[in-house]
């Protein structure tokens, strides 16, 4: 066992910002990176007299996540208020779903490093609003930007089924991918779109009660989560071995030292005074509504991988790569739908397109490449219109948004496969090189290479090598 005689228990509460058009309770835009407070109105500022109206899109996004995590969607939901004072929390209460969460009793199958699959139960998930953002000046003041305030979040609460830092890491990775494929969020950690609150306790094997819990809030990298948990496992075990009593506290992960630092010891439990939100109407979710949301739910990464391997005959490794992001998988699906050979399309996306993205640091959707153009290029290669060598130039062009066939024609990249054009050239070259014909007949295959070289020169490299070869052999035999 990794930690001597102690069993580790980890619970994760993961918050994911959902990329709706508007906020959960006000029509202000949800948009990252705008000037401070640009996306705020009187509702976001909790002006006297304002009222919230809940966003249907946010609720449906939450339903998508619930479905993707195999949770039961509650038929009746009432919003609740969670009361606490904080500068980034203008109403001094957060609108959330405490008593009637959107989804309950879900699970996520997590592939562990040893190849085993572990089912992690999801206790519940609910939709709530995000807080604003505080920055701390070195002038003794803090500064509040409410742009993020009210962005819809889905909070996913796991059961304490995770027993090691690696399992927690694998769970988070898997959860991120599942969420990515619901299309509700890009779940970018560096932009805070996915954040984890981590609980960890240890207890001697066989103990009935859980150990004293330590909480770490808003950890925003999977590696930090793992490092923090590794440190906590050791720290807590050492303390217990030394006969110390652990205290329930909030700690913070410190990356430079890869350790955790105590922030606040909880003497009394927080008292958030939850109660039902009287300003919002309750919500009834019918099976029809769930079915409608399910119909719009994108296929999961696992479903897609299976389809790629079984139906499109793609290598399993390639299928993994293609399903790393929803954008890539969607792009691939659309390219195949547009008539591209699945294998060749996959090779281009995994190879050249990924290399391009790495070089330019762009997201696929930020480029000018379209599935239609990629499919167009693949088709030109497949039907022999262009050579794979010519395709390199066409690829550059389609990355700039050009239509492949038009580009190839305009730039003389089209292969000449027409025997009516090629035959006179063959006759001409053979007539000019009687020695080569003699050599060929004498069994010297080298002569063929020479003749082809002459012909390619004549065609300025545009002759389709396959067709040309066939034509040449046919003519040679007749001489």
Partner 1 sequence: MTFNYFDHDLSDLHQKLLNHELTAQELTQATLDNIAASDGDVQAFLGTNGPEALQQAQELDEKGDFSNPLAGIPMGLKDNLSTKGLETSGASKILAGFKPVYDATVVQKLQAAGAISVGKLNMDEFAMGGSTENSAYQKTTNAWDHTKVPGGSSGGSATAVAAGQIPYALGSDTGGSIRQPAAFNGIVGLKPTYGRVSRFGLFAMASSLDQIGPLTRTVKDNALVLNAIAGFDKMDSTSVESEVPDFTARLGQGIKGMRIAVPKEYFEEGIDPKVAQQVKSAIEQLRELGATVDEVSLPHTRYGVAAYYIIMSSEASSNLQRYDGIRYGFRSPDAKSLEDVYVKTRSEGFGDEVKRRIMLGTFSLSAGAYDAFFKKAAQVRTLIVEDFNKVFNDYDLIVGPTAPTTAYGLGEEINDPKAMYLADALTIPVNLAGLPGLSINAGFVDGLPVGLQLIGKPFDEATIYQAAQAFEDATRWFEKRPAVAEKY
Partner 2 sequence: MAETISRDDVAHVASLAKLAFDEAKLDQFTDQLTDILTLFETLSEVDTSAVEPTYSVTPNVNHLREDVADNWHQKQELLANSPEEAADLIKVPAIIKGEDD
Subset of 59-88 contacting partner 2 (CB under 8 A)? 59, 78, 85-88
Q: Which C-beta is closer to partner 2: that of 180 or that of 283? A: 283
Q: Is 102 one of the binding residues for partner 2 (CB under 8 A)?
A: no
Q: Which C-beta is closer to partner 2: that of 32 or that of 107? A: 32
Task: Indicate the angle between helix axes 446-458 and 434-441, nearest 10 degrees.
Answer: 150
188 binds, among partner 2, partner 1, none (CB under 5 to 8 A by kind): none
Q: Which C-beta is closer to partner 1: that of 23 or that of 344? A: 23
The bridge status of strand 214-219 relative to strand 249-254 is parallel
Total binding residues toward partner 1, as defined by CB under 8 A: 30
**Smallest separation, CB 184 to partner 1 (Å):** 23
Subset of 233-292 contacting partner 1 (CB under 8 A)? 269, 271, 273-275, 278-281
Q: Is 287 one of the binding residues for partner 2 (CB under 8 A)?
A: no
Q: Which C-beta is closer to partner 1: that of 142 or that of 296? A: 142
Burial 39-64 (b: 16+ CB within 10 A, else e): bbeebbeeeeebebebbebbbbbbbb
Q: Segment contacting partner 1 (CB under 8 A): 6-14, 50-58, 334-342, 430-438? A: 50-58
Tell me, residue by residue from 234 to 273, as one string, x for binding to partner 2 by CB under 8 A and - for no binding. ----------------x------------xx------x-x
The position carrying tokens 């990355």 is 399
Of 33, 51, 136, 442, which one interacts with partner 1 (CB under 8 A)?
51
C-alpha span between 245 and 248 (Å, rounded):
10
Of 115, 136, 190, 478, which one interacts with partner 2 (CB under 8 A)?
136
Q: Is 54 one of the binding residues for partner 2 (CB under 8 A)?
A: yes
Q: Is 186 helix (H, G, I), strand (E, B) or coil?
A: coil
E-strand spans in 146-274? 152-158, 194-204, 214-219, 249-254, 259-265
What kind and span of H or E run contains 8?
A: strand 6-17
Q: Is 35 one of the binding residues for partner 2 (CB under 8 A)?
A: yes
Q: Is 199 one of the binding residues for partner 2 (CB under 8 A)?
A: no
Total binding residues toward partner 2, as defined by CB under 8 A: 57
Q: Is 2 one of the binding residues for partner 2 (CB under 8 A)?
A: no
Q: Is 342 one of the binding residues for partner 2 (CB under 8 A)?
A: no
Would you give the DSSP letter of residue 139?
S
Q: Is 289 helix (H, G, I), strand (E, B) or coil?
A: helix
Q: Is 55 one of the binding residues for partner 2 (CB under 8 A)?
A: yes
The vertex-417 CA angle with 416 and 423, nearest 5°, equals 95
Q: Is 175 one of the binding residues for partner 1 (CB under 8 A)?
A: no
Tokens read off for 19: 């990329």
Q: Is 261 helix (H, G, I), strand (E, B) or coil?
A: strand
Determine the distance from the C-alpha atom of residue 207 to the mean position of all C-alpha atoms in its chain, rounded to a whole number.
Answer: 39
Tokens read off for 371: 């599935």
Tokens read off for 312: 């499109």
C-alpha span between 326 and 237 (Å, rounded):
41
DSSP string across 263-307: EEE-SS------EE-TTS--EE--HHHHHHHHHTSPPPHHHHHHH
Is residue 462 within 8 Å of residue 415, measured between CB atoms? yes
Q: Is 143 one of the binding residues for partner 1 (CB under 8 A)?
A: no
Is residue 277 within 8 Å of residue 91, measured between CB atoms? no
Tell me, residue by residue from 74 to 93, as one string, x for binding to partner 1 by CB under 8 A and - for no binding. -------x-x-x-x--xxxx
What residue ranges bind partner 2 (CB under 8 A)?
20-22, 27-31, 35-42, 45, 53-59, 78, 85-89, 131, 134-137, 140-146, 217-218, 250, 263-264, 271, 273, 275-276, 278, 280-284
What residue ranges bind partner 1 (CB under 8 A)?
42, 45-54, 81, 83, 85, 87, 90-93, 142, 144, 269, 271, 273-275, 278-281
């Amino acid at each position: 066992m990794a930690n001597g005689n102690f069993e580790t228990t980890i619970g994760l509460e993961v918050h994911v910002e959902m990329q709706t058009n508007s906020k959960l309770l006000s029509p202000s835009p949800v948009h990252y990176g705008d000037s401070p407070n640009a996306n705020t109105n009187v509702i976001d500022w909790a002006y006297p007299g304002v009222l919230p109206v809940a966003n249907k899109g946010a609720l449906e996004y939450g339903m998508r996540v619930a479905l993707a995590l195999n949770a039961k969607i509650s038929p009746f939901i009432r919003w609740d208020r969670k009361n606490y004072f904080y500068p980034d929390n203008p109403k001094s209460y957060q609108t959330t779903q405490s008593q009637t969460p959107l989804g309950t009793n879900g699970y996520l199958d997590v592939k562990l490093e040893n190849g085993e699959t572990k089912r992690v139960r999801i206790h519940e998930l609910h939709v709530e609003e995000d807080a604003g953002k505080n920055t701390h000046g070195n002038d003794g003041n803090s500064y509040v930007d409410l742009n993020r305030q009210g962005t819809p979040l889905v909070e996913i609460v796991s059961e304490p089924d995770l027993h090691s830092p690696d399992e927690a890491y694998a769970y988070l990775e898997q959860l991120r991918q599942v969420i990515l494929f619901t299309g509700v969020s890009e779940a970018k950690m560096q932009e805070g779109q996915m954040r984890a609150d981590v609980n960890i306790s240890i207890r001697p094997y066989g103990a009935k009660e859980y150990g004293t819990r330590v909480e770490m809030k808003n950890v925003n990298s999977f590696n930090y989560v793992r490092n923090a948990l590794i440190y906590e496992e050791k720290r807590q075990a050492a303390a217990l071995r030394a006969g110390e009593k652990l205290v329930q506290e909030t700690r913070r992960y410190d990356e430079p030292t890869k350790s955790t630092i105590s922030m606040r010891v909880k003497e009394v439990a927080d008292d958030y005074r939850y109660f039902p939100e009287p300003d919002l109407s309750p919500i009834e979710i019918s099976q029809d509504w769930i079915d409608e949301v399910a119909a719009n739910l994108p296929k999961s990464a696992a479903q897609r991988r299976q389809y790629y391997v079984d139906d499109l005959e793609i290598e399993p490794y390639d299928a993994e790569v293609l399903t790393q992001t929803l954008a890539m998988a969607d792009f691939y699906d659309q390219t195949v739908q547009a008539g591209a050979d699945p294998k060749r399309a996959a090779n281009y996306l995994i190879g050249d397109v990924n290399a391009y993205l790495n070089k330019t640091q762009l997201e696929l959707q930020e480029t000018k490449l379209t599935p239609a153009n990629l499919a167009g290029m693949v088709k030109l290669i497949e039907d022999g219109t262009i050579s794979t060598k010519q395709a390199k130039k066409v690829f550059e062009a389609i990355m700039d948004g050009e239509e492949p066939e038009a580009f190839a024609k305009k730039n003389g990249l089209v292969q000449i496969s027409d025997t009516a054009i090629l035959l006179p050239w063959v006759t001409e070259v053979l007539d000019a090189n009687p020695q080569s014909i003699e050599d060929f007949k004498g069994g010297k295959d080298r002569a063929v290479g020479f003749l082809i070289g002459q012909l390619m020169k004549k065609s300025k490299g545009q002759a389709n090598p396959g067709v040309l070869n066939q034509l040449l052999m046919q003519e040679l035999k007749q001489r």
